[in-house]
Amino acid sequence: MNTEQAALTLWDLQAGEAARVTGFDQGLTTAYQGRIMEFGFQPGSQVECLLTPGFGAPRVYAVSNSVFSLDQEIAQAVFVESAGASGGQP
């Protein structure tokens, strides 16, 4: 079963959307996975997308009381499941 096709990634989130990290793409090296996990993007962690500037610019995410920007290549390698919108948006 190819779960990568249907998987939601950090890059899919829009500003104000929250999600829970579920895992990583197999193409992401162990070194990158370790580094991302050091930042707080660990399976089970709650993540919120703060900014999606467009034109392929890095997006901004809040996780573990910290804020990070991730480029598309890395953000697409972090799988998430939707946790709903935050910030009182309708």
Pairing mode, strands 17-24 and 8-9: unpaired
For domain 3-85, the question of CATH label 2.120.10.30 is answered with no
The one-letter code for the residue type at 48 is: E
The residue among 86, 22, 1, 25 whose CA lies nearest residue 50 is 86
Domain ranges in the chain?
3-85
Determine phi and psi for 42, rounding to 5 degrees. Answer: -100, 150
Judged against a pLDDT cut of 90, whether residue 3 lies above it is answered with: no
pTM to 2 decimal places? 0.83
Q: For residues 89 and 40, what is the distance between their CA atoms, to the nearest angstrom?
A: 25
Tens of pLDDT, residue by residue over 75-87, are: 999 999 997 655 5
Tens of pLDDT, residue by residue over 26-64, are: 999 999 999 999 999 999 999 999 999 988 899 999 999
